[in-house]
Each structure stands twice: as structure tokens, then as C-alpha cells.
Amino acid sequence: MNDNEYKKMFARLTTIFFLAFICSMLCIFVLKKDASSSEVENRELAQKPEFSLKNIENRNFADGYNSYISDQFPLRNFFVSAKSELDMLCGRKESNGVFVGNDNYYIEKFTESGENDLKDKLKAINAFKENNKSINMYCLVAPTSTEIYKDKLPKYADAGDESAYINKIKTGLSKNIKFIDIRESMKKNKNKYIYYKTDHHWTTKGAYLAYCDYCSKAALKAEDEKDFEIKTVTDDFYGTLYSKALCGKAVPDSIKLYIPKKNDKVVVTYNDEKKKTATMYKSDALNQKNKYEVFTGGNHSLINIKTLSESGKKLLVIKDSYANSFIPFLTSHYSSIDVIDLRYYMDDIQSLIKSDGITDILFLYNASTFNDDNSILNLEN
């Protein structure tokens, strides 16, 4: 067999292999059961769109089907991870909006959504304060690791300017709302383990530092760290940023709980699940991918916490997931704590304030979520 015959045979075999691979992928795609979510990427996956003339006319069907094929393609996790790793080998330090930085830190790029977007949010909060003049109101917009660990970023990486964004919030809020600026505290303690390396949240240590700043602003006496039993509940946490990047040599994070040594009794009511528990922690979450859900079991529309505090103060927390590890520190200061997530809460907030006798309100968001999420506008409804 001469060289030309070898080349022809190789070309035929390559074509046959390629066609067999495509046919196999097609068969698997048609026969396999669609996944509802990706545990690796920690997100919901697109489902098959509904076929209708209306969807075809406005192109929703075509766009939806493209997303569906992309999300449900066989061996998707393998191909996504392989592409990310190849990009890293080619010198890229960013994957899917996440930089792989020094000391194994995964740092998400911050892109401000726009001046008008922020003005609308501040207008909604300020109007909310105007409608609740007698209530003490606080706002804490936390920087993420993007701001605190800029020195960990790859050379020439532009991760945005969270601090400038937080300054706009601080100056745009009503003077009757007390702004808790934690940036200095976080930067002073940046050499401690205050943000997870693979996840976008602060650690429980970071939440504790923010709690101390909140107490200073709210005229409360913060509990000392020695008043808590600090327990490591996992050393095997791979968070959302690693799930987005799917590349690099990630080192798993550890999660700690701060358990009060006294007055630790609570009754927690989860409104959406219509259940009560005696703890703000969900130990089952430590067996799943998103172990951060050990704090309150993740996000809920409404949680009510009854405590042993005799202060008579009743707090409403309007928040994102950063608050989940922060709230347990507040139980010694408030007799009752309501926690609502405006992404899921659809009831009338003013009715809740009135019926539960709310005396204090805290807005607690991280800068990235405050920027990306428009549910804060629901305050105007």
C-alpha cells in the first residue's frame, strides 16, 4: 500500500469516526433525560421551549432552542471544562467573567449596569424611607473579593471599580438612612480568611467583621468572638466562581459556623416551605454542591426568627445571600427578625412592617448583586 492509499484510508477512517461521533451524540441527546440543573456550574439549565406560532414569530423559540441545545448537549461539562483549561494553557487568565488570580483566588469581573439603573434603585430606597420615617433604617452594601483582593488579580486585568460604585450608593442615599461602610475593616483584615477563594460570598469571619461595623453604627454592643464556638463544618467547598470558570487549580474552601455559647435558642419559620425549625443552619446542605446553603438553607421569600432577646426591637432585613451568614450574629440584639428576599417576596411589605411591629430595617447586599438585580425596585409596589 503506497502513501496515497494510506492517506485515503486515513481520511476515510477519520470521516467515519467523525460521523459516528456526531450520530452517537445525536442519539444520546434525543434519548437522554434532560437535566434540570448543573451541579458543576451551580445553575438552572435551559429546558425545551414550547412550540407555538407566537414563539416562532417573535424568535423566542429559536433563541430558546439554541440555549436548550447548548445546555443539554451530551458531555457538556467535559467540553466546557476542556475549553476553559485550553484557554488557560494559551495564556488567558479569565474564563466566563472570572479571573484566576494569585494564591488560588477566583475573582469575578464587576461591570456597572448604568447610571439610570442605580438612580432608580436609590430613588426606590429613599421613597421607602420617606414612607417609614419613624423606623431606624440602615444600608450595608458589601464589597466583594473583587474590590478587596485587587492585588491578587493577574497583571493588566481590569476587574472594574466596585469602590466607585459603592461611593455612588453612599452619596445617593437619603441622609436619614445610615450607611454602614465596611471597606476599611475588610481591607485591614484582608490577610485573614474573610472571603472564600472559590465562591463570591464572604466567609463567616468576614460576616462577623461586617456585624461589628453594623453594631457600631446601630448603637449595639457586638458580641466578642470568644463568645462563640467556632466550628469547621466542611473543608471541601467549591463555590460559584470556580463553577463559572471551570479551570485552574482550585483549592477547596472551608466553612465555619459561629455558634453562640449562650442564648442560642431560636425558632425559625420558613414562610415559603411552611415549616419551623430550632436552627438557622441546614446541615444537609453540606452533602450537596452548594454548601453555602448551610446558612438558612439558601434564599427564601420570607423567614421569621424568634429569639430569647428581651430588647423588644424587631428587625426587618431586606437582602441577598450575603445576609445568610450574617443574620445569626443578630439574634442577641433583636426579639424578632424578619428576612425577605425581594427576588421571591411578592406580598405587601408595608403590611408586614405594620403587623410585625418592625422598629429597624437593614438593607444588606453585596455590590455585585445590588448592581445586577432589579428586584429592589419592588419596594415601590
Q: pLDDT category, 29, cuts 50, 70, 90?
A: very low
Alpha-carbon distances of 81 from 14, 34, 214, 241, rounded to whole Å: 25, 20, 41, 13
Distance CA 91, CA 84 (A): 11
Amino acid found at 339: V
Does residue 141 carry a pLDDT above 90?
Answer: yes
Distance CA 36, CA 153 (A): 34
Instruction: Give the single-character DSSP code of 154.
Output: P
Instruction: Annotate 283-309 with three-state secondary structure.
Output: HHHHHCCCHHHHECCCCCCEEEEECCC
Contacts of 135 (CB under 8 A, 6+ apart): 353, 358, 359, 360, 361
Contacts of 88 (CB under 8 A, 6+ apart): 95, 100, 247, 248
Beta strands in the chain (DSSP E): 37-38, 43-44, 94-95, 98-100, 106-108, 136-142, 178-179, 228-237, 253-260, 267-270, 275-277, 302-306, 314-319, 336-340, 360-366
User: How far, rounded to the nearest angstrom, does the alpha carbon of residue 263 sit from its chain's CA centroid?
Assistant: 29
319 touches 364 (CB < 8 A)? yes
pLDDT digits (tens, 9 = 90+) for 64-93: 545 545 555 555 555 555 555 555 555 557
Please name the helix (run of DSSP H) or strand (run of DSSP E) that holds residue 173, with its range, or none: none
Task: Indicate the length of the chain as a whole number.
Answer: 381
Nearest one of 174, 168, 108, 169 to 137, comparing CA atoms: 174
User: In 173-309, which residue ranges form alpha helices assigned H by DSSP?
Assistant: 183-188, 204-217, 240-245
Does residue 240 carry a pLDDT above 90?
Answer: yes
Q: Which residues pair with 232 in a beta bridge?
A: 256
As to burial, measured by CB atoms within 10 angstroms (0-12 exposed, 13-18 middle, 19+ buried), residue 113 is middle
Distance CA 182, CA 142 (A): 7
Q: pLDDT category, 249, cuts 50, 70, 90?
A: confident
Q: pLDDT category, 283, cuts 50, 70, 90?
A: very high
Q: Which residues pair with 275 in a beta bridge?
A: 270
Residue 173, φ and ψ in degrees, nearest 5: -75, 150
Distance CA 63, CA 2 (A): 50
Distance CA 159, CA 142 (A): 16
pTM of the model: 0.81
Give the CA count within 13 Å in the CB-facing half-sphere of 275: 8
Distance CA 358, CA 370 (A): 23
pLDDT digits (tens, 9 = 90+) for 312-342: 999 999 999 999 999 999 999 999 999 999 9
Percent of the chain with pLDDT over 90: 67
